[in-house]
Structure 1
């Protein structure tokens, strides 16, 4: 399986492509798309779209993975990220579809989920995430294409790979587990209704009265 991770942004968009074969991760390529504030917003978005379209067309990923979009305090910054995110998704998906004819799957995760999948700790620092990405993908310190944005993008791709591994392990465990013992229905105990109880009580009282009357009759005869 081939996964492209994206770290969207208007100024800098990181991307990273990895292969996940037999639960072994390997780096295909990574990089950062940088735009200049001198250009118009439309031009900068066009550059991001075109570059990711080329990357997806060349690498043909099966999955597009990225961090989800969340509300931020700086509205202007949030809008810029949302715009970059939109054109990045379109570029990656259509670049793949125009080559393979198949739409890649799309997944998004929270920052905590990504940190948990990569580092094993949901509150890890960015430096810890970057270092762990280097270790998992065996990236050399001399690789100048490996930027902080590329590291975040690769972390999103690794998160998808780890999530798939976890889900596969669960399904395997379910398949190997013995079927549960069928629950036998409990025998229903018939309860005597209140009316029946009263009726039986009356009958019992009648029997006792008859017995008393017979006893008195016998005594009178003896006298």
Structure 2
């Protein structure tokens, strides 16, 4: 079973594909979908969609795990991230990929045991859980990897 994890963003979106074989989980790929800062909608949304479709076409995930969003203060940022998240969900739907939507605290708890873990704790936990010597790149991709990891536990909620 392959799970695609997504950490939504309007110009930088983390992604990771994990695959479970027997009882072992392997990292197939991870990174960030990036659009140059200042790129206006809908150009940024089209770029995100195209890059996401390339990932879907290459890895054919069975499930996606897209972090649910919570913004308390900056409505402008929230609106832009929700736009890109909508493109992600639409693209998943068009590819018939079921998805789950854990909260940030569920993802943190599912990887570290604590719902209030920080980025460093998540990175350390992922390295241990997945047997990785190092994690490189942006923390958005590590958040996506943590989301994908939690997706395995949530897969039964969508009948997988």
Provide the TM-score with structure 2 as the length reference.
0.89
SS of structure 1 residue aligned to 2:27: strand
| Distance apart, 1:93 and its partner CA | 4.2
C-alpha distance in 1 between matches for 2:102 and 2:123: 17
User: 1:160 pairs with 120, 128, 151, which one?
Assistant: 151
Structure 1 residue 11: Cα displacement: 1.9
Q: 1:86 to 1:28 in 2, by over 3 A?
A: same
Q: Deviations over 1:188-207 (max 9, x none)?
A: xxxxxxxxxxxxxxxxxxxx
CA RMSD of aligned residues (A): 1.7
* Off by >6 Å, runs of 4+ in structure 1: none
- Residue 77 of structure 1 and its aligned partner are, at CA, apart by 0.7
Paired with 2:33 and 2:78, the residues of 1 have a C-alpha distance of 18
| Counterpart among 99, 115, 122 of residue 122 in structure 1 | 115
Change (3 A) 1:111 1:38: closer
CA distance in 1, matches of 2:154, 2:89: 20
The yes-or-no answer on 1:40 pairing with 2:40 is yes
Contact 2:100 2:154 in 1 (8 A): no
Displacement after TM superposition at 1:40 (Å) = 1.9
DSSP 3-state at the match of 1:6 = strand
Paired position in structure 1 for 2:22: 22
Q: Per the alignment, do residues 93 and 59 of structure 1 end up closer, same or farther by CA in structure 2, a change over 3 Å counting?
A: farther
Q: Is the CA contact 2:49–2:88 (under 8 Å) kept in the aligned structure 1?
A: yes
- Give 3-state SS (helix, strand or coil) of 1:3's partner: strand
Matched, 1:150 2:141: yes
- Higher Cα Rg, which structure: 1
Q: Is the Cα contact below 8 Å between 2:64 and 2:151 reproduced in 1?
A: no
Which residues of structure 1 form unaligned runs of 5+? 98-102, 166-223
- Partner of 1:41: helix, strand, or coil? coil
What's the offset of the Cα at 1:6?
0.3
Q: Which has the higher strand share?
A: 2
Higher relative contact order (CA 8 A, sep 6+): 2
Decide whether the 8 Å contact of 2:6 with 2:147 is kept in 1: yes
1:54 aligns with 54
TM-score of the superposed pair, with normalisation by structure 1: 0.65
Does residue 82 in structure 1 map to residue 82 in structure 2?
yes
| Structure 2 portions without partners, runs of 5+ | none
Select the structure that is richer in helix.
1
